[in-house]
Structure 1
Amino acid sequence: SGYMIQALGITSVLLGHSERRQYYNVTDETCNKQLHVAFKHNLIPILCVGETLEEREAGQTDVVVMRQMRMALDGVTTQQREQLVIAYEPIWAIGTGKVCDAAEANRTIAVIRREIGLAHTRILYGGSMKPDNVAELMKQPDIDGGLVGGASLDVDSFMQLVAAAVPVTA
Protein backbone atom coordinates (compact mmCIF):
# COMPACT_ATOMS: atom_id res chain seq x y z
CA SER A 1 0.00 0.00 0.00
CA GLY A 2 1.02 3.62 -0.36
CA TYR A 3 1.13 4.00 3.42
CA MET A 4 3.50 1.03 3.84
CA ILE A 5 5.80 2.30 1.09
CA GLN A 6 5.90 5.73 2.70
CA ALA A 7 6.51 4.22 6.17
CA LEU A 8 9.58 2.44 4.79
CA GLY A 9 11.06 5.79 3.78
CA ILE A 10 10.69 5.16 0.07
CA THR A 11 10.19 8.41 -1.84
CA SER A 12 9.35 7.28 -5.38
CA VAL A 13 7.50 4.47 -7.12
CA LEU A 14 7.71 3.00 -10.62
CA LEU A 15 4.29 2.66 -12.26
CA GLY A 16 3.25 1.06 -15.55
CA HIS A 17 6.57 -0.65 -16.30
CA SER A 18 6.32 -2.76 -19.46
CA GLU A 19 6.93 -6.03 -17.60
CA ARG A 20 4.17 -5.22 -15.09
CA ARG A 21 1.84 -4.40 -17.98
CA GLN A 22 2.77 -7.62 -19.78
CA TYR A 23 2.88 -10.14 -16.94
CA TYR A 24 0.51 -8.67 -14.35
CA ASN A 25 -2.14 -7.09 -16.58
CA VAL A 26 -1.43 -3.56 -15.37
CA THR A 27 -3.57 -1.25 -17.51
CA ASP A 28 -3.67 2.49 -18.08
CA GLU A 29 -6.61 2.59 -15.65
CA THR A 30 -4.53 0.75 -13.04
CA CYS A 31 -1.74 3.28 -13.56
CA ASN A 32 -4.22 6.09 -13.00
CA LYS A 33 -5.36 4.62 -9.68
CA GLN A 34 -1.76 4.02 -8.63
CA LEU A 35 -0.80 7.60 -9.54
CA HIS A 36 -3.54 8.97 -7.30
CA VAL A 37 -2.43 6.71 -4.42
CA ALA A 38 1.19 7.79 -4.92
CA PHE A 39 0.26 11.47 -4.79
CA LYS A 40 -1.96 10.90 -1.73
CA HIS A 41 1.08 9.50 0.11
CA ASN A 42 3.52 12.16 -1.14
CA LEU A 43 5.43 9.68 -3.28
CA ILE A 44 7.06 10.70 -6.56
CA PRO A 45 5.59 8.52 -9.30
CA ILE A 46 7.68 7.48 -12.28
CA LEU A 47 5.14 6.64 -14.99
CA CYS A 48 6.35 4.33 -17.75
CA VAL A 49 4.84 4.54 -21.23
CA GLY A 50 5.86 2.90 -24.48
CA GLU A 51 4.86 0.94 -27.56
CA THR A 52 5.31 -2.64 -28.71
CA LEU A 53 7.10 -3.61 -31.92
CA GLU A 54 3.77 -4.23 -33.65
CA GLU A 55 2.49 -0.78 -32.65
CA ARG A 56 5.74 0.83 -33.79
CA GLU A 57 5.70 -0.94 -37.17
CA ALA A 58 2.09 0.15 -37.65
CA GLY A 59 3.16 3.78 -37.15
CA GLN A 60 1.19 4.02 -33.90
CA THR A 61 3.92 5.10 -31.48
CA ASP A 62 2.52 8.58 -30.82
CA VAL A 63 -1.09 7.33 -30.64
CA VAL A 64 -0.22 4.60 -28.14
CA VAL A 65 1.97 6.76 -25.94
CA MET A 66 -0.57 9.61 -25.91
CA ARG A 67 -3.39 7.20 -25.01
CA GLN A 68 -1.34 5.82 -22.14
CA MET A 69 -0.57 9.35 -20.92
CA ARG A 70 -4.12 10.65 -21.18
CA MET A 71 -5.65 7.67 -19.41
CA ALA A 72 -3.03 7.51 -16.66
CA LEU A 73 -3.16 11.27 -16.02
CA ASP A 74 -6.95 11.55 -15.84
CA GLY A 75 -7.82 13.67 -12.81
CA VAL A 76 -4.17 14.52 -12.07
CA THR A 77 -3.75 18.21 -11.25
CA THR A 78 -1.18 20.55 -12.77
CA GLN A 79 0.61 20.69 -9.41
CA GLN A 80 0.79 16.88 -9.34
CA ARG A 81 2.00 16.76 -12.96
CA GLU A 82 4.90 19.00 -11.95
CA GLN A 83 6.03 16.34 -9.45
CA LEU A 84 5.62 13.46 -11.89
CA VAL A 85 8.51 11.78 -13.69
CA ILE A 86 7.78 10.04 -16.99
CA ALA A 87 9.86 7.26 -18.50
CA TYR A 88 9.55 6.47 -22.19
CA GLU A 89 10.43 2.82 -22.65
CA PRO A 90 10.00 1.53 -26.20
CA ILE A 91 9.01 -2.02 -25.31
CA TRP A 92 10.38 -3.36 -28.58
CA ALA A 93 13.89 -2.20 -27.61
CA ILE A 94 14.00 -3.83 -24.18
CA GLY A 95 16.09 -6.97 -24.06
CA THR A 96 15.61 -7.66 -27.78
CA GLY A 97 18.87 -6.42 -29.20
CA LYS A 98 16.91 -3.82 -31.21
CA VAL A 99 18.04 -0.26 -30.61
CA CYS A 100 15.94 2.89 -30.51
CA ASP A 101 17.89 5.60 -32.30
CA ALA A 102 18.63 8.55 -30.00
CA ALA A 103 16.92 11.02 -32.35
CA GLU A 104 13.83 8.80 -32.53
CA ALA A 105 13.73 8.53 -28.72
CA ASN A 106 14.07 12.30 -28.45
CA ARG A 107 11.25 12.86 -30.97
CA THR A 108 8.86 10.65 -29.00
CA ILE A 109 9.86 12.26 -25.71
CA ALA A 110 9.24 15.70 -27.26
CA VAL A 111 5.71 14.52 -28.15
CA ILE A 112 5.22 13.40 -24.53
CA ARG A 113 6.52 16.75 -23.26
CA ARG A 114 4.04 18.63 -25.47
CA GLU A 115 1.20 16.37 -24.28
CA ILE A 116 1.89 16.92 -20.60
CA GLY A 117 2.14 20.66 -21.21
CA LEU A 118 4.85 21.33 -18.65
CA ALA A 119 8.34 22.11 -19.87
CA HIS A 120 10.02 21.18 -16.58
CA THR A 121 8.54 17.70 -16.17
CA ARG A 122 11.42 15.22 -16.07
CA ILE A 123 11.23 12.65 -18.85
CA LEU A 124 13.60 9.69 -18.87
CA TYR A 125 14.53 7.22 -21.57
CA GLY A 126 14.37 3.55 -20.66
CA GLY A 127 14.92 1.30 -23.65
CA SER A 128 18.07 -0.80 -23.30
CA MET A 129 20.29 2.04 -22.21
CA LYS A 130 23.88 0.80 -22.30
CA PRO A 131 27.40 2.22 -22.00
CA ASP A 132 27.71 2.37 -25.80
CA ASN A 133 24.51 4.41 -26.37
CA VAL A 134 24.08 6.49 -23.21
CA ALA A 135 26.22 9.45 -24.33
CA GLU A 136 24.25 9.94 -27.55
CA LEU A 137 20.94 9.61 -25.67
CA MET A 138 21.98 12.13 -23.01
CA LYS A 139 22.94 14.67 -25.70
CA GLN A 140 19.32 14.85 -26.84
CA PRO A 141 17.55 18.04 -25.73
CA ASP A 142 14.34 16.42 -24.49
CA ILE A 143 15.85 13.43 -22.66
CA ASP A 144 16.42 14.33 -19.00
CA GLY A 145 17.95 11.07 -17.83
CA GLY A 146 17.75 7.32 -17.98
CA LEU A 147 15.66 4.56 -16.49
CA VAL A 148 18.28 1.84 -16.41
CA GLY A 149 17.19 -1.77 -16.23
CA GLY A 150 19.35 -4.72 -17.20
CA ALA A 151 22.54 -2.65 -17.43
CA SER A 152 22.24 -1.94 -13.70
CA LEU A 153 22.46 -5.63 -12.80
CA ASP A 154 26.15 -5.87 -13.65
CA VAL A 155 28.28 -3.50 -11.56
CA ASP A 156 30.98 -3.05 -14.19
CA SER A 157 28.45 -2.37 -16.95
CA PHE A 158 26.57 0.08 -14.75
CA MET A 159 29.75 1.93 -13.79
CA GLN A 160 30.68 2.20 -17.48
CA LEU A 161 27.21 3.56 -18.23
CA VAL A 162 27.48 6.19 -15.50
CA ALA A 163 31.00 7.13 -16.61
CA ALA A 164 29.79 7.59 -20.19
CA ALA A 165 26.80 9.68 -19.08
CA VAL A 166 28.53 12.01 -16.63
CA PRO A 167 30.58 14.06 -19.15
CA VAL A 168 27.44 14.69 -21.19
CA THR A 169 25.27 15.79 -18.27
CA ALA A 170 27.90 17.68 -16.25
Structure 2
Amino acid sequence: MRKIILAGNWKMHKTQAETLEFVAQFKPAIDDAPDDRGIVLCVPFTDLAILSKNLHGSAIQLGAQNVHWEETGAYTGEISAAMLNEVGVRYVVVGHSERRQYFGETNETVNFRLRAAQKAGLTPILCVGETKQQRDANETEAVIFQQLKEGLVGVDQSQLVIAYEPIWAIGTGDTCASDEANRVIGLIRGKLTNADVTIQYGGSVNPGNVDEIMAQPEIDGALVGGASLKPDSFARIVCFQ
Protein backbone atom coordinates (compact mmCIF):
# COMPACT_ATOMS: atom_id res chain seq x y z
CA MET A 1 0.00 0.00 0.00
CA ARG A 2 1.32 3.43 -0.95
CA LYS A 3 2.32 5.65 1.97
CA ILE A 4 1.99 9.43 2.15
CA ILE A 5 5.34 11.03 3.00
CA LEU A 6 5.94 14.76 3.50
CA ALA A 7 9.65 15.52 3.58
CA GLY A 8 11.37 18.83 4.21
CA ASN A 9 14.70 19.39 2.46
CA TRP A 10 16.51 22.16 4.31
CA LYS A 11 19.43 22.19 1.86
CA MET A 12 22.26 24.36 3.29
CA HIS A 13 20.19 26.12 5.94
CA LYS A 14 20.00 26.22 9.75
CA THR A 15 22.63 26.03 12.44
CA GLN A 16 22.12 23.71 15.39
CA ALA A 17 20.63 26.53 17.44
CA GLU A 18 18.21 27.37 14.64
CA THR A 19 17.32 23.69 14.34
CA LEU A 20 16.38 23.45 18.01
CA GLU A 21 14.26 26.57 17.69
CA PHE A 22 12.46 25.09 14.67
CA VAL A 23 11.71 21.79 16.41
CA ALA A 24 10.37 23.51 19.52
CA GLN A 25 7.78 25.28 17.37
CA PHE A 26 7.13 22.52 14.83
CA LYS A 27 6.35 19.62 17.17
CA PRO A 28 3.26 21.17 18.80
CA ALA A 29 2.10 22.53 15.43
CA ILE A 30 1.67 19.00 14.04
CA ASP A 31 -0.10 17.46 17.03
CA ASP A 32 -3.25 17.07 14.95
CA ALA A 33 -1.56 15.62 11.87
CA PRO A 34 -3.25 12.39 10.72
CA ASP A 35 -1.43 9.16 11.55
CA ASP A 36 -1.49 8.00 7.93
CA ARG A 37 1.32 10.28 6.77
CA GLY A 38 5.05 10.12 7.32
CA ILE A 39 6.95 13.26 8.28
CA VAL A 40 10.65 13.56 7.47
CA LEU A 41 13.20 16.32 8.02
CA CYS A 42 16.22 16.09 5.68
CA VAL A 43 18.79 18.38 7.24
CA PRO A 44 22.48 19.33 6.89
CA PHE A 45 24.97 16.83 8.30
CA THR A 46 25.87 19.12 11.22
CA ASP A 47 22.25 19.12 12.41
CA LEU A 48 21.67 15.36 12.31
CA ALA A 49 22.90 14.34 15.77
CA ILE A 50 21.21 17.12 17.71
CA LEU A 51 17.99 16.71 15.76
CA SER A 52 18.00 12.95 16.32
CA LYS A 53 18.02 13.50 20.09
CA ASN A 54 15.21 16.02 19.89
CA LEU A 55 13.00 13.88 17.65
CA HIS A 56 13.15 10.88 19.96
CA GLY A 57 9.64 9.67 20.71
CA SER A 58 8.01 11.85 18.07
CA ALA A 59 6.41 10.91 14.76
CA ILE A 60 9.05 12.87 12.85
CA GLN A 61 11.76 10.85 11.14
CA LEU A 62 15.28 11.97 10.35
CA GLY A 63 16.66 12.30 6.84
CA ALA A 64 20.04 13.21 5.36
CA GLN A 65 20.72 14.98 2.08
CA ASN A 66 23.34 12.67 0.58
CA VAL A 67 25.30 9.45 1.16
CA HIS A 68 28.47 8.00 -0.36
CA TRP A 69 28.53 4.57 -1.98
CA GLU A 70 31.64 3.32 -0.15
CA GLU A 71 31.62 2.26 3.51
CA THR A 72 34.94 4.00 4.25
CA GLY A 73 37.78 5.58 2.29
CA ALA A 74 39.61 8.65 1.11
CA TYR A 75 36.54 10.64 0.10
CA THR A 76 36.98 14.05 1.67
CA GLY A 77 33.70 15.81 2.33
CA GLU A 78 31.55 12.68 1.92
CA ILE A 79 29.62 10.67 4.50
CA SER A 80 28.87 6.96 4.71
CA ALA A 81 25.62 5.13 5.33
CA ALA A 82 27.03 3.71 8.59
CA MET A 83 27.71 7.24 9.83
CA LEU A 84 24.12 8.19 9.05
CA ASN A 85 22.75 5.07 10.74
CA GLU A 86 24.70 5.86 13.89
CA VAL A 87 22.80 9.11 14.42
CA GLY A 88 19.37 7.66 13.67
CA VAL A 89 18.87 8.62 10.03
CA ARG A 90 16.11 6.69 8.26
CA TYR A 91 15.79 8.47 4.90
CA VAL A 92 18.35 10.03 2.56
CA VAL A 93 17.86 12.25 -0.48
CA VAL A 94 19.76 10.91 -3.49
CA GLY A 95 20.23 12.51 -6.91
CA HIS A 96 18.77 15.91 -6.17
CA SER A 97 19.04 18.19 -9.20
CA GLU A 98 21.36 20.52 -7.30
CA ARG A 99 23.75 17.62 -6.70
CA ARG A 100 23.57 16.74 -10.38
CA GLN A 101 24.01 20.34 -11.52
CA TYR A 102 26.67 21.62 -9.13
CA PHE A 103 28.54 18.51 -8.03
CA GLY A 104 28.68 16.30 -11.09
CA GLU A 105 26.24 13.59 -10.03
CA THR A 106 25.38 11.19 -12.85
CA ASN A 107 22.75 8.50 -13.15
CA GLU A 108 25.54 5.99 -12.45
CA THR A 109 26.73 7.62 -9.21
CA VAL A 110 23.12 8.11 -8.16
CA ASN A 111 22.64 4.37 -8.60
CA PHE A 112 25.73 3.65 -6.49
CA ARG A 113 24.37 5.84 -3.70
CA LEU A 114 20.90 4.30 -3.86
CA ARG A 115 22.25 0.80 -3.47
CA ALA A 116 24.61 1.78 -0.66
CA ALA A 117 21.77 3.42 1.23
CA GLN A 118 19.55 0.38 0.89
CA LYS A 119 22.34 -2.00 1.88
CA ALA A 120 22.60 -0.11 5.17
CA GLY A 121 18.84 -0.18 5.75
CA LEU A 122 18.19 3.44 4.78
CA THR A 123 15.29 4.41 2.53
CA PRO A 124 16.52 6.64 -0.30
CA ILE A 125 14.42 9.40 -1.81
CA LEU A 126 15.41 9.36 -5.47
CA CYS A 127 14.95 12.70 -7.23
CA VAL A 128 14.18 12.82 -10.95
CA GLY A 129 13.12 15.69 -13.18
CA GLU A 130 13.73 17.74 -16.30
CA THR A 131 15.07 21.22 -17.01
CA LYS A 132 13.03 24.00 -18.63
CA GLN A 133 14.98 23.52 -21.84
CA GLN A 134 14.23 19.80 -21.87
CA ARG A 135 10.53 20.39 -21.17
CA ASP A 136 10.29 22.99 -23.93
CA ALA A 137 11.88 20.46 -26.30
CA ASN A 138 9.26 17.84 -25.31
CA GLU A 139 11.96 15.68 -23.74
CA THR A 140 10.42 15.37 -20.26
CA GLU A 141 9.48 11.71 -20.53
CA ALA A 142 12.70 10.66 -22.25
CA VAL A 143 14.89 12.37 -19.64
CA ILE A 144 13.01 10.96 -16.67
CA PHE A 145 12.76 7.47 -18.11
CA GLN A 146 16.52 7.45 -18.66
CA GLN A 147 17.10 8.60 -15.08
CA LEU A 148 14.93 5.73 -13.88
CA LYS A 149 16.44 3.13 -16.22
CA GLU A 150 20.02 3.87 -15.19
CA GLY A 151 19.33 4.87 -11.59
CA LEU A 152 17.26 1.89 -10.54
CA VAL A 153 19.58 -0.92 -11.66
CA GLY A 154 19.78 -3.39 -8.76
CA VAL A 155 17.62 -1.20 -6.52
CA ASP A 156 14.95 -2.71 -4.25
CA GLN A 157 11.77 -0.84 -5.11
CA SER A 158 10.11 -1.96 -1.88
CA GLN A 159 12.58 0.24 0.02
CA LEU A 160 12.36 3.37 -2.11
CA VAL A 161 10.69 6.77 -2.40
CA ILE A 162 10.78 8.74 -5.65
CA ALA A 163 10.40 12.50 -5.89
CA TYR A 164 9.43 14.07 -9.21
CA GLU A 165 11.03 17.50 -9.12
CA PRO A 166 10.82 19.47 -12.37
CA ILE A 167 14.05 21.46 -12.15
CA TRP A 168 12.44 24.58 -13.58
CA ALA A 169 10.02 24.66 -10.62
CA ILE A 170 12.53 24.24 -7.79
CA GLY A 171 12.84 27.42 -5.75
CA THR A 172 11.36 29.53 -8.53
CA GLY A 173 7.79 29.87 -7.31
CA ASP A 174 6.75 28.44 -10.68
CA THR A 175 4.94 25.31 -9.55
CA CYS A 176 4.14 22.63 -12.08
CA ALA A 177 0.37 22.48 -12.61
CA SER A 178 -1.01 19.81 -10.31
CA ASP A 179 -2.68 17.86 -13.12
CA GLU A 180 0.57 17.87 -15.11
CA ALA A 181 2.55 16.73 -12.08
CA ASN A 182 -0.02 13.98 -11.62
CA ARG A 183 0.34 12.95 -15.29
CA VAL A 184 4.14 12.70 -15.11
CA ILE A 185 4.06 10.83 -11.81
CA GLY A 186 1.61 8.39 -13.36
CA LEU A 187 4.10 7.81 -16.18
CA ILE A 188 6.87 7.25 -13.64
CA ARG A 189 4.74 4.72 -11.79
CA GLY A 190 4.16 2.90 -15.05
CA LYS A 191 7.91 2.32 -15.37
CA LEU A 192 8.23 0.71 -11.94
CA THR A 193 7.93 -2.95 -11.03
CA ASN A 194 6.37 -2.10 -7.66
CA ALA A 195 3.10 -0.16 -7.85
CA ASP A 196 3.28 0.69 -4.15
CA VAL A 197 6.33 2.96 -4.37
CA THR A 198 5.61 6.34 -2.78
CA ILE A 199 6.07 9.07 -5.41
CA GLN A 200 6.27 12.64 -4.20
CA TYR A 201 6.04 15.93 -6.04
CA GLY A 202 8.65 18.60 -5.34
CA GLY A 203 9.04 22.11 -6.71
CA SER A 204 7.76 25.25 -4.98
CA VAL A 205 5.29 23.34 -2.79
CA ASN A 206 3.79 25.75 -0.26
CA PRO A 207 0.81 26.07 2.11
CA GLY A 208 -1.23 27.71 -0.64
CA ASN A 209 -0.97 24.90 -3.18
CA VAL A 210 -0.42 21.75 -1.14
CA ASP A 211 -4.12 20.83 -0.87
CA GLU A 212 -4.55 20.88 -4.65
CA ILE A 213 -1.33 18.95 -5.19
CA MET A 214 -2.20 16.28 -2.66
CA ALA A 215 -5.70 15.87 -4.11
CA GLN A 216 -4.15 14.32 -7.22
CA PRO A 217 -4.55 10.52 -7.26
CA GLU A 218 -0.98 9.65 -8.31
CA ILE A 219 0.79 11.99 -5.87
CA ASP A 220 1.76 10.41 -2.54
CA GLY A 221 3.47 13.30 -0.82
CA ALA A 222 5.84 16.20 -1.26
CA LEU A 223 9.54 16.99 -1.05
CA VAL A 224 9.49 20.56 0.20
CA GLY A 225 12.34 23.06 0.02
CA GLY A 226 11.97 26.66 1.13
CA ALA A 227 8.54 26.21 2.70
CA SER A 228 9.95 23.59 5.08
CA LEU A 229 12.25 26.12 6.74
CA LYS A 230 9.44 27.81 8.66
CA PRO A 231 7.71 25.64 11.28
CA ASP A 232 4.22 27.05 10.72
CA SER A 233 4.55 26.77 6.96
CA PHE A 234 5.77 23.17 6.98
CA ALA A 235 3.20 22.23 9.62
CA ARG A 236 0.42 23.46 7.33
CA ILE A 237 1.86 21.33 4.52
CA VAL A 238 2.08 18.26 6.75
CA CYS A 239 -1.53 18.84 7.87
CA PHE A 240 -2.88 19.28 4.34
CA GLN A 241 -6.60 18.80 3.91
- Tell me which moved more, 2-11 or 29-38: 2-11
1:111: how far off?
A: 0.6
One-letter amino acid of the structure 2 residue matched with residue 93 of structure 1: A
Between the aligned partners of 2:232 and 2:118, the Cα distance in structure 1 is 35
Give the structure with the higher percent helix: 1
Aligned alpha-carbon RMSD (Å): 1.1
Within a 5 Å distance, the mapping from 1:54-73 to structure 2 comes to 54-73=133-152
Between the aligned partners of 2:235 and 2:81, the Cα distance in structure 1 is 32
Between the aligned partners of 1:49 and 1:43, the Cα distance in structure 2 is 19
**Pairing partner for 2:201 from 118, 125, 128:** 125
Between the aligned partners of 1:145 and 1:161, the Cα distance in structure 2 is 10
Among the aligned pairs, what percent are the same residue? 53
**Pairing partner for 1:83 from 159, 165, 168:** 159
One-letter amino acid of the structure 1 residue matched with residue 108 of structure 2: E
One-letter amino acid of the structure 1 residue matched with residue 207 of structure 2: P
In terms of Rg, which structure is larger? 2
Give the structure with the higher percent strand: 2
**Pairing partner for 2:178 from 97, 102, 105:** 102
Structure with greater contact order relative to length (CA < 8 Å, sep ≥ 6): 2
Q: Which residue of the partner structure matches residue 39 of structure 1?
A: 118
Question: TM (normalized to structure 2)?
Answer: 0.65
Question: TM (normalized to structure 1)?
Answer: 0.91
For residues 67-107 of structure 1, give each alpha carbon's deviation from its aligned partner in whole angstroms, at most 9, with x where no partner exists. Answer: 0011111122xxx1111100000110112232200000000
Unmatched 5+ residue regions in structure 2? Answer: 1-79
One-letter amino acid of the structure 1 residue matched with residue 159 of structure 2: Q
**1:50 is aligned to 2:126:** no
Match of 2:93, SS?
A: strand
The alignment of Structure 1 onto Structure 2 pairs a total of residues equal to 162
Change in Cα spacing, 1:162 to 1:39, as seen in structure 2 (3 Å) is closer
Poorly superposed stretches of 4+, deviation over 3 Å = none
Change in Cα spacing, 1:11 to 1:63, as seen in structure 2 (3 Å) is same
One-letter amino acid of the structure 1 residue matched with residue 194 of structure 2: L
